[in-house]
Structures are given as C-alpha cells and as structure tokens.
Amino acid sequence: MNQVKIHNNISEVGKELWDSLTENNIFMCYAWLKTFEETTNNPPLPYYITILDDEKIIAASVCYFDNKKEKSQFIDNVLLGRFKDFKWIKNLTFLPAVMCGSKRGYGTHFLFSQEIKKYEIIELQDQLLDIIENIAVKLNASIYFSNIMNNELSLMQLLTKRGYYKTISLPLNYIDINWSSFQDYKKYVSKEHPSMKKTISREINKNRKSGVVIRQLQCVEEDWKRLFDLLEMNHQKYNSSLFNLKPNYFLKLKENYGDNAIIFVAVKDSDILGVSVELRKDKVDVIASLGIDHNSSQKDLTYFNIVFYEPIKKVHEYGIEKIYGGNAFYRMKNRRGYKTAETYIFYKPNYKLRNYIIKVWFSIHYLWMKRKFSYLKNF
C-alpha cells in the first residue's frame, strides 16, 4: 500500500529521490525549492507532498499557504489587475489560499515516476488532489493552481471535474532552438521580421563599441552584493511591490545549482552594470533573474545582449533545446524569435457562497485576458 508523507522543509526529502521525478522541470527541482526556501524573505509555509511505494517516491507535489498578510500576491495581481487600485475594491482578495505548484516559476504541478503506468498516474493525481484539498480544509483556505499549460490536460480535466474555475493567466515566452549557429539564428528570426537581422547586428555592435563586455561569471564570492543590488534596482524600476529576495541569493544559487546556474555579467570600465541568471536542467534553460543598472548603462543596449544574444550564442555549447523567457515584453521577444504559450489559473473558493461571484468574475476575466493578448499570433 502506498504511503503518504508531508514535509515542511525540502531538506527532509532525499534530493536524488525527489529529482528522479522532476526531469527538465526546473522550478520543481530540489535545487530551486531549496533556493526559494533559503533566499526568500518570509517565505510562505510549504507542504512537500510525497507518495511512496517501498520507500521510493512515485508521485509528488508542492503547495504553499498564501495568507492575506503578504503585501503582494500573484493571484490578486493577475485576477484583479488594474482594479485592485480602486478604493471600492482595494480590500478584495482571493486569499487565503493554498497555492499548488512552484513559486516564481512554471512547469508541471504534479510529478510522477517514469516507471508507473498511465492508469496509475490518473489514480495518483486524484490522491494528490485529495491531500491538497484536505490541507486547504484544515487551513480554511481556498485553492489555486497557477500557470497550468496545455501539457497538463489530464490535470485540467480533473480540476474542471472537481468544480475548479478556470481563467487565463499571463502567457509564457519560450523559444525552441531550431538553428545550428548564431548566424543561422539571425536568419531564422528574419524570416518573420526581415529587418531584425540588421537590428541584431546593430545592437551587438553598439553594445561592444560602448565598451561593454559580457562574460560568464564562474565565482560569485567577490561580487554577490553588487549582483544583488542590480536585481533589486531592476525590480524597483518596474514593480511597485517590495523586493522579496535576501542578499544571499547568488551565494545560495551557486551552492544549490553549481554549474547549472549560469550567470552572465555585463562589465564596463571594471564596473558590473548588468547581470542575467539562467537556470539549466537537462536540455531546458530558464531566464530566472535579471538586473540592469539603467543609469550607468544608459543607451548601450546591454539588456538585449545579456538577455537574448549572449545566452543564444551558448545554447549549443550547453546542449540547450528550449529557453523559457518569462511573461512580459511579448512583442519585443517575438521579434527575437520567441513564441508564447497560454497558461491558466484554476481556483476553488473555500466558501460555497462565493461560487456564483467567482464563476461570474472568472468568465469576465477569461474574455478580458483573451482580448488583451489577442495580438499574440500563437495565443
């Protein structure tokens, strides 16, 4: 008979046992979950759910308890959007809630051993969802799944069957590596955007002529504080929420990921004015963090070079087949070869009396988001 164990610290779970299920799921792998625990200010309480057969994990998931006290919450930001700034709606929230899936990322929400059969996966999905719903009942909280993609159709069907409400979340940028060299990449991009071949060359040359050198940083011990300051600076420029990382972020990132944390820095006159963090697992790469000193870099186009061109130059060296590039700047990234994938939120309120209101709001929100991103070709 299967055994269920729930932990509140990823260190209580064996790294090899957990990662035997994660494949190329970067934000569900042991290294990311541990990094999130160790580097996030006031992290929400995690529940690492494991189902074991003879001491071997055959299914797993992670969920977090999001309470009302935290000032910035993903689900309220996405579901309320600009409305959350109105006085009459200011106190409206979809919290408290048990959030299922990794924080600050995307990927499959339930993990399964490759050795189990399809019918067993269906049974284990039901079991994992039962456990999550029991946790939510004990906490008197709603439940939501964020950033579900079409590669989890069976999970979406199960959630719909169980009465979860569905809406569209922020699209995800990604690029498949369909070229053998950087010159071929420029040709690939120019098929849909003919002017981009010259634009890319101009942006690279301007950055170089400005005296900027982009290189990979192997050791962070000497520069971790400057790197952290760049992340915080960039966050404050584009966000109204508090920056929620601890200064030890880069030290823990390298400690937990090793060579799979690829850090590019932009250096000018011995000063680091930009940093980009890529996390790698198997053949998948994620642009996880970015920091630019916009005052120092001015118009030298460091952003384009450190986020797009330098990582793309290295894909074959690292054996990368796909890069995920976050959920913003869609037009800019589309012009540089990125496509978008739909992602969804599934939500189940803790009070049945809220069902009608949630149903109406999710219907409106779905249509609103569909219209908002209608300009994306593959959305």
Contacts of 211 (CB under 8 A, 6+ apart): 268, 269, 300
Q: Domain 3-170+343-372 sits in which CATH superfamily?
A: Gcn5-related N-acetyltransferase (GNAT) (3.40.630.30)
Considering Cα of 144, then 150, then 151, then 153, what sign does the dihedral take? positive
Asked if 230 and 223 touch (Cβ cutoff 8 Å), the reply is no
Asked if 129 and 163 touch (Cβ cutoff 8 Å), the reply is no
Q: Rounded to 5 degrees, what are φ and ψ at 59?
A: -155, 150
Looking at residue 85, its pLDDT comes to 63
Question: Which CATH number is associated with domain 173-340?
Answer: 3.40.630.30
Verdict on whether the full-model pTM lies above 0.85? yes
Residue 223, token pair as written in the block: 């520069």
Same fold, 3-170+343-372 and 173-340: yes
Please report, for the chain, the start and end positions of each structural domain, with discontinuous segments joined by +: 3-170+343-372, 173-340
If you ran DSSP here, which 8-state letter would residue 115 be given? Answer: T
The predicted-structure confidence for 124-154, as pLDDT tens digits, reads as follows 999 999 999 999 999 999 999 999 999 999 9
Looking at residue 378, its pLDDT comes to 58
Mean pLDDT of 31-35: 95
- Which residue(s) pair with 53 in the sheet? 56
Residue 213, token pair as written in the block: 């050198």
Q: Alpha helices, DSSP H only, in the chain?
A: 15-19, 30-39, 74-80, 118-139, 153-161, 182-190, 196-209, 224-238, 249-257, 294-297, 302-304, 310-313, 315-318, 330-334, 355-372
The predicted-structure confidence for 57-87, as pLDDT tens digits, reads as follows 999 999 999 886 655 577 888 888 776 666 5
